Chains A and B, each alone.
Chain A
Amino acid sequence: MVVLSRGTRREFEPVSLLRRSGIRFRKLTVKPAGPLDGHTIGAVGVRDRYNVLIIAAKHEQWQVVPQGSQTLSAGDDLYVIGSCDSLAAFEEVAV
């Protein structure tokens, strides 16, 4: 028995498109006492400072496209996208 993929899959197309053009996805966890812990996404300026984009954050449940006013705390899971270099830099300092 073979189960085929179902639905029109709008999600997978842009994801693979981004991957082909050098944007990487990474799942990260906010570390305690890091620059993100206890701050809002907007206050840290994640986008401007690290050139990566937090596309989903899990505090109690997943929040896709979190707003700048969302507070991050240690242990929160994040999906972050950006170029390889930006992600590596972000990963080094922030999580």
Chain B
Amino acid sequence: MSVAGLSALLGQSGVTFGQPTTAAVNLLVFASLSALTAGGFTVAYRWYFKSLVPEGIAILAGVAVVVLYINTASLGVVVGQGSVDLFRPGVVFFNVVALGVATAVAPLGRRIGDELASGLFSLIGLGELDTEMSTMVRSVGRVTSVGLPDEIEDMESYDPVTEETKAELAGKTLVFPRRLSVDELRSRLVARLKDDYSVGYVDVDLTAEGTVEYLAVGSRAAGVGATIAPGTVAVAIRADPPNNAASGDQVQVWSTGELPKRLTSGEIRGVAGDTVTLAVDEADATVLSPTERYRLLTMPAEPQADREFATLLRSVDETMGTVTLEAGSTLVGETAATVSGAVLAIRQPDGKLVTLPERDRLFEGGETIYVLGRPDVIRQLDQWATTPLPDPTVDETSETADAAAQVDGEERAGTVEFDDLE
């Protein structure tokens, strides 16, 4: 059959089974069209989404092309000849068979496409082979995969998470979108761990390649115990709280006898009916009895921003820590500007405390610095404070501090972030 003859066969719209050759050729073309489209779609899908396309979608793609073809051919006839043969019973029957063939063949195309894609992409390194090499490639490629370490630590000063959660997290690989800076990747990783694994606090060391070098988790603070300062305790008493008294109000507690007597003062932590939970001094807790009734005197709001702030710290990742510098360590001679947390105070070796030190003040051996920052930053500082200075080239870090403040996080992973803290 010549090419001209073939195209003449295909150009027709009102094909019926009355013309067996034409019908057979058309069905064959439709079948290969459907398979080809489904296959191509599968390859594209695997390239983009890294998984096998759902069967329904592949079939839809294959059939859609055939429908489009039949439609377009019929439209051509309508425009050219002004007659519509699309609704003749024979034509309708043929078209239905054609769509059936397309539906049947599309899964075949999908399977071939998938075989092809898997072979092709693993050859050029885009596949999902879980080898060391593939991980490296993927981290600069389409997705970033982050492998969690097998050993997951507890965070100091936070409640530990359950062993089950740790076992679930250990050695797990999480996949993130590509082209994330290390900072973005860190916050996404932390958010993922918090959302999906109900972890309250995360302390993670992340390298520029997206490798987790250290992971510690803590559980969310629950209950009143975690929010009251040392030296104070929470007690529940029966009293007559003012109707708008709420957590944080300062109150005096008076007895209700003949001669009212002031017993103690405290801070309201909760009100339920006439039961009031108060945070009071440890020593005063014995004065209050759960069966007695008391009167409360609400005090004018007293700014307690420091307590509020300390409580706020319990609910965020950042914490306060102290780092003591050994003589001759890497940190000696550095300034507060190189610390990516806030240096709140420095205790000098003679015991004198320098609060809010100047940012160009040099650290000296034997000093203890009080830092507010992420736990990993504090841990890193602690490591530097005990590591002897290897060679003098470290000095360049302080010179680049200001310039680096604006730079996006790519290269500052694992090292200090030089963000200017105003």
Contacts and interface: CB of A to CB of B under 8 A. Distances in A.
Interface of A: 1-19, 21-27, 41-42, 44-48, 51, 53-56, 62, 64-65, 67-69, 79, 81-82
A67 B406 CA distance: 10
Contact of A45 (B308, B317, B320, B422): B422
B421 interface: yes
Given A9-B230, A24-B305, 13 more contacts: A3-B233, A7-B159, A8-B156, A9-B229, A13-B320, A23-B355, A25-B305, A26-B305, A27-B308, A53-B422, A55-B372, A56-B309, A69-B406
Contact of A65 (B157, B230, B321, B421): B421
Contacts of A3: 223-225, 228, 233-235
The main secondary structure of chain A at its interface with chain B is: mixed
B394 interface: no
Given A1-B290, A10-B321, A44-B422, A64 B159 contact: no
A73 to B, nearest CB: 16
21 contacts: A1-B290, A2-B233, A2-B235, A3-B233, A4-B225, A6-B223, A7-B221, A7-B225, A10-B321, A14-B320, A15-B307, A17-B353, A18-B345, A21-B345, A21-B355, A25-B306, A27-B303, A27-B305, A54-B422, A56-B312, A65-B341
B279 to A, nearest CB: 9
Interface in B367-403: 370, 372-373
A7 B316 contact: no
Interface residues of B, number: 55
A10 B341 contact: no
A4 B234 CA distance: 7
Interface of B: 156-159, 221, 223-226, 228-236, 285, 290, 303, 305-310, 312-322, 341-342, 344-345, 353, 355-356, 359, 370, 372-373, 405-406, 419-422
